Amino acid sequence: MGKWKYKLEDEGKQLRKLIDEDDLTLEAVIVVYNQMITCLKLLKMKLIGRDKNDLTYEIDSMIEDYQLACPENTDAYNYYEEEDILNFNLRGFYDFCDDNRVWIGL
């Protein structure tokens, strides 16, 4: 395996902790989205060299997608649908991090 180029130590650790909670609610789904957005914003600030040019647009697009996917009012949403959408977005987030050698803290 290659070397990690970037590390999301504390923010990634917090994200994993939020995901691993047994009692995931719609409110928790919102918190997970916000933590993914925080991780992406931090990663964007850490980008150097060519990665800054190559990844900035993709990160901005992901942030916008997650902001739009995040439920606004928990009364109007179905938890199971939102969980499925969140899981889809989490896969995309983790794939992006793996593809770009970003370590997500444990």
Given the structure tokens 């928790």, which residue do they identify? Answer: 28
E strand intervals along 24-101: none
d(CA 8, CA 25): 25
Q: What is the pTM of this model?
A: 0.90
Helical residues (DSSP H) of 47-78, grouped into ranges: 49-69
**Tokens read off for 45:** 């600030």
pLDDT in tens, 59-94: 999 999 999 999 987 676 787 888 899 999 999 999
What is the CB neighbour count within 10 angstroms for residue 35? 19
pLDDT in tens, 10-22: 999 999 999 887 6
pLDDT in tens, 20-37: 876 778 888 999 999 999
- For residue 99, which of 58, 68, 64, 69 has the smallest C-alpha distance? 58
